[in-house]
């Protein structure tokens, strides 16, 4: 009986520890995009899919508006452009990082290192 009680206490402490750690991440918004998951932010860049696949495509106004908004946080923009959602849509990271420049954004994160790529 005493051994069972020790096991129950250990399991409960483990659960508390795990729930505490995950709770901290949610409270402080530990991700690159704060409290919003990167994959959710990536969905906002749906108007940029063609521009992220072909460097010769002019980004749409909607695309540039979303890039401008997400680009206020360069680490979020980088994470979005390198996200699984972007890759699944056929976006090429080396092309995607050029979208802010192709949108002629004055306050774009120039020179920001984004994985193996640098924002021009």
CATH number, domain of 53, equals 1.10.110.10
Specify if 13 maps to a domain.
no
> What local confidence, expressed as pLDDT, does residue 106 receive?
85
d(CA 9, CA 101): 57
Q: Does 54 map to a domain?
A: yes
So what's the pLDDT on residue 5? Answer: 41
Domain coverage including residue 100: 37-120
Does the structure show a pLDDT above 70 at 46?
yes
| Average pLDDT of the segment spanning 33-59 | 95
Residue 25 clears pLDDT 60, i.e. is over it: no
* Partners of 117 in the β-ladder: 114
What's residue 39's pLDDT? 94
Per-residue pLDDT, 29: 52
**Total structural domains in the chain?**
1
Per-residue pLDDT band at 109 (split at 50, 70, 90): confident
Under 8 Å between Cβ of 95 and 80: no
């Amino acid at each position: 009986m005493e051994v069972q009680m020790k096991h129950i206490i250990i399991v409960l402490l483990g659960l508390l520890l795990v729930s505490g750690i995950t709770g901290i991440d949610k409270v402080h918004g530990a991700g690159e995009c704060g409290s919003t998951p990167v994959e959710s932010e990536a969905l906002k860049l749906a108007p940029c899919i063609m521009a992220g696949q072909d460097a010769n495509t002019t980004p749409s106004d909607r695309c540039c508006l979303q890039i401008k908004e997400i680009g206020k946080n360069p680490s979020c923009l980088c994470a979005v452009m390198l996200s699984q959602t972007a890759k699944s849509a056929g976006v090429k990271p080396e092309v995607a990082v050029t979208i802010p420049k192709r949108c002629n954004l004055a306050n774009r994160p120039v020179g920001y290192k984004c994985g193996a790529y640098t924002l021009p």
